[in-house]
Amino acid sequence: MAVLPDLPTLEVEIVVDGEALKEYDDPDPPFSAPNTITKFVEATSGTEFSIKLHFTRDFPQDYAVKAQVLLDGKRVTNKRYRIKRLSGSHNIGGVTSKDNDDWYLQKFRFSELDIGEADSQPANLELARSLASTGKISIAFNYVKNHRRVAPRDEHPELKQLEGIKEQDLKGKALSHQAILGTKMSVNARSRTRSDLVSAEPFATFNFKYRSHEALRADEIIPRSPSPIPLEERGVQNLSFDERGQLLERLLAEPRVKRELPDDDDVAGGQWKRQKTKYIEDKDGAVILD
């Protein structure tokens, strides 16, 4: 889970199928404000995800809290938590909307980007601007006061699937997915509330950049697995029984180089003369080389 060093009483994580996604640090993090933290997580195409917030018992309870969720740079929902709810866990798994007297829920979902090969056409500037914010889930927290109910309005949130993406539009970023909203599901009527900010600046911001496993490896967010040490270089005492068998098979399969034994005439001064003739013995017999 992501935790700010100066605010350990608030924890945030991305959850899929009831399990928190493993978080990775940026090996080359950009400068950010002390009240902001950024982690990487792995996205799987088509999976629904939610945002889990956890306020510990020691979280400050002077004001209520508003959590604003942005997906790929677009504000999709606000959640307000009164002081009495600032202890325990809360999940934000989608967006509720109203259409006349009907209420709907659309869950958050990862969707793979369809990226075509680069061509000679210039980058699509409008698309490039959208892609600049793609691949990031942000949750900004503000203290609020004067919490009150308001009349709900009709809302029609949208997160459109990006189309026509070419390699040149990515501008070198290893993007793989975007966030979309799932199919509308009918839910019971909800209430709407409003409040006033204590301060315009969030007291905490959590960013989660999501990528496919391959993209995380390409950006070296996930370290590459080290190359295995060849059996020949590990020492027999460090090999398992099966590995020793594999090593023996390799050695037996290799051609062996032999020299002919010298005749008596090849002896000079009690030492063998250097032999010029050798042969290679393999599975099919011996081949004599001059």
Rounded to whole angstroms, the Cα distance separating 26 from 29 reads 5
Question: How big is the CA angle at 58 (ends 57 and 59), to the nearest 5 degrees?
Answer: 95
Cβ atoms < 10 Å from Cβ of 287: 10
Dist CA 11 CA 2 (whole Å): 6
The pLDDT score that the predictor gives to residue 177 is 96
What pLDDT, on a 0 to 100 scale, did the predictor assign at position 260?
56
Can you give the residue ranges of every domain in the chain?
Answer: 2-218, 231-289
The Cα 158–Cα 180 span in angstroms is 8
The Cα–Cα gap between 78 and 134 comes to: 20
Per-residue pLDDT reduced to its tens digit, 81-100 = 999 999 899 999 999 999 88
Closest CA to 65 of 84, 50, 49: 84
pLDDT at 171: 80
pLDDT for 89: 96
- Asked if residue 113 lies in contact with residue 179, where contact means CB atoms within 8 angstroms, the answer is no
Q: What is the pLDDT of residue 167?
A: 86
Q: State residue 227's pLDDT score.
A: 64
Q: Give the torsion through C-alpha atoms of 126, 131, 132, 137, to 10 deg.
A: 140
Q: Nearest 5°: phi and psi at 9?
A: -85, 0
Residues in the chain: 290
pLDDT tens track for 133-161: 999 999 999 999 998 999 888 877 889 89
3-state secondary structure 117-159: CCCCCCCCHHHHHHHHCCCEEEEEEEEEEEEEEECCCCCCCCC
Could you tell me the two tokens for 79? Answer: 């959640």
Supply the pLDDT for residue 268.
Answer: 47
Residues contacting 115, CB < 8 A, separation 6+ = 165, 166, 167, 170, 175
Residue type, position 26, single letter? D
The SS3 of residue 252 is helix
Predicted confidence pLDDT, tens digits, the chain (290 residues) = 899 999 999 999 999 999 999 999 987 777 778 899 999 999 999 999 999 999 999 999 999 999 999 999 999 999 999 999 998 999 999 999 998 889 999 999 999 999 988 787 777 788 888 899 999 999 999 999 998 999 888 877 889 899 889 888 888 888 999 999 999 999 999 888 899 999 999 999 999 999 999 999 988 898 766 667 776 777 777 778 787 788 778 777 777 665 555 555 544 444 544 455 454 555 555 444 45
Structure confidence at residue 126 (pLDDT): 83
Tell me how far apart the alpha carbons of residues 201 and 223 are, in angstroms, rounded to a whole number: 35
